[in-house]
A = this chain, B = another copy of it.
Amino acid sequence: MAVTRDQLMKAAIHHLNENPSASMAQLAEAVGISRATLHRHFTSRDELMLALGHRAHEQWEQAQVSSGLAEATASDDPEVVGRALHTLLDRLTEVADEYGFGLTDYAMVVHPELKRRSDELEEREIAFYATAQRVGVLRADLSARWVSCTVYGLLVAVRESLRRGDVARREAPRLVLATFLNGTAPRRDDA
């Protein structure tokens, strides 16, 4: 095979980030293969979307796992929780543009299967943020659900920034973390 299934999905996501309603023909062209070949990999558009959704979820879950989110959620140590939070945001930022369309695409809503997994991953993350609030790593006067949404929003922002070339990829994690934790106001104890 000239094009790996993984390369294919990557290219498809990349194009869907720009045009979420791209047709199979447009996707095939963007990937650099013929429509027939695209259909050999994915019988239907629906199947492609499903696969992309699963891929997105795998990356999301991988970010959670490699950050030790589960253990941290059960922990009381601010140090542990803080490190997990830091790693989680780093990993999420890294895959933000590739994971990409999973953030906003309608496919995630229409497939019950995807929606369920999406909800599950989100709930885990919310539970983690709640723990972070409990141990003082995050402020407690915002609902954990809103915190989760904030992360989501920042990831959309960083994906867009990367797409437009407004920020360097290496800079992204730092920007996200700094903005997420401290916001955009000068700290009172600054200079």
Residues of A whose CB lies within 8 Å of any CB of B are 18-21, 104, 106, 109, 136-143, 145-147, 149-150, 152-158, 160-161, 166-167, 175, 178-190
A156: contacting residue among B153, B182, B186, CB under 8 A: B153
Min C-beta distance of A185 to chain B, whole Å: 4
Other CB < 8 Å A-B pairs besides A104-B156, A139-B186, 6 of them? A138-B186, A146-B175, A149-B167, A153-B155, A154-B154, A181-B185
Contact A109 B18 (CB under 8 A): yes
Docked complex Cα distance between A186 and B132 (Å): 11
Query: Is the pair B178, A149 in contact by a Cβ cutoff of 8 Å?
Result: no
Which B residues touch A181, using CB under 8 A?
Answer: 183-185
Complex interface: chain B residues within 8 A of A154 (CB): 150, 153-154, 157
Distance of A163 from chain B, by nearest CB (Å): 10
Q: How far is it, in angstroms, between the C-alpha of A189 and the C-alpha of B152 when the chains are bound?
A: 27
- In the bound complex, CA of A176 to CA of B21 (Å): 30
Q: Is the CB of B166 within 8 A of A157?
A: no
16 A–B contact pairs at CB < 8 A?
A20-B106, A104-B104, A139-B184, A142-B175, A146-B179, A147-B184, A150-B154, A152-B157, A153-B153, A153-B155, A153-B156, A153-B158, A153-B160, A154-B154, A156-B156, A180-B184
With a cutoff of 8 Å between Cβ atoms, the chain B residues found around residue A150 in the complex are 154, 157, 179, 184
Is A161's CB under 8 angstroms from B175's CB?
Answer: no
A160 engages B166 (CB within 8 Å): no
